Structure 1
Amino acid sequence: MIQFNPMSIASGTINPVQNKATPAEATESFASFLKDALDGVAAQEMNVHKVNDKFLIGEADVNDVLIAASKAELSLSLTAQVRNKVIEAYQEIMRMQM
């Protein structure tokens, strides 16, 4: 992973600093990030169900339901877009000649 020093960016000289992460550590880090993102999408879906249940018993406003549903829809849409990009990248790698 490459990190940039903000002072170097401000002065116009960008000097990347290499982290000493092994491929296994990078893979684990990405897997952890992906799991957290998917857990967040699942949590938003569960929130929609909770708000919907509250609406049915009269404890929530229709606006709360619509906002929760919109947030969950956007998260799911983003997840689908990321999945599509990952699949495209994988297919492009598989088409490369060695």
Structure 2
Amino acid sequence: MIQAISMNQVQPLKTMSAAPAEQATPAELTKTFSQFLNNAIEGVSAQEQNVHTLNDKFLIGEVDVSQVMIAGERAQLSLQLTSQIRNKVVEAYQEIMRMQV
């Protein structure tokens, strides 16, 4: 049986309402975004740790090779997605810095 790996679910950012008392400040939005990024990176790290654990279990004969391969591919795809997101963020930052005010 294939072991299911739980993925972190994306939590939506707080929406800004029309009422001034309920508007989120830029600092709160930045903190929420940084928490989102931190959770995503922790999820990638957890997948990598899962691959190492499954590799160890495979070496002693407790799991099947297919479980190790699936976990490895999931971790690889997560890492590739993370690096692509990073590249897009850096590219957007560079584009903003090139803007003339």
After TM superposition, the score normalised by the length of structure 2 is 0.80
Distance apart, 1:17 and its partner CA: 5.0
Match of 2:24 in 1: 21
Return the alpha-carbon distance in structure 1 between the equivalents of residues 36 and 14 of structure 2: 17
More strand by share: 1
Matching residue's letter, 2:63: A
Tell whether 2:40 aligns with 1:37.
Answer: yes
Which residue, out of 83, 86, 91, partners 1:88? 91
Return the alpha-carbon distance in structure 1 between the equivalents of residues 46 and 58 of structure 2: 18
Name the structure, 1 or 2, with higher relative contact order (CA <8 Å, separation 6+). 2
Q: Give unmatched runs, 5+ long, in structure 1.
A: 4-15
2:58, 2:64 within 8 Å by CA — same for their partners in 1?
yes
Q: How big is each residue's C-alpha offset from its partner over 1:65-92, in whole Å with a ceiling of 9 and x where there is no partner?
A: 0000000000000000000000000000
Computing the radius of gyration over CA atoms, which structure comes out larger, 1 or 2? 1
Tell whether 2:61 aligns with 1:61.
Answer: no
Which residue, out of 48, 52, 63, partners 2:51? 48
Return the alpha-carbon distance in structure 2 between the equivalents of residues 56 and 83 of structure 1: 34
Matching residue's letter, 1:44: Q
2:57, 2:63 within 8 Å by CA — same for their partners in 1?
yes
SS of match in other structure, 1:59: coil
**Percent identical across equivalent pairs?**
60
Which residue, out of 61, 73, 77, partners 1:70? 73
1:44, 1:72 within 8 Å by CA — same for their partners in 2?
yes
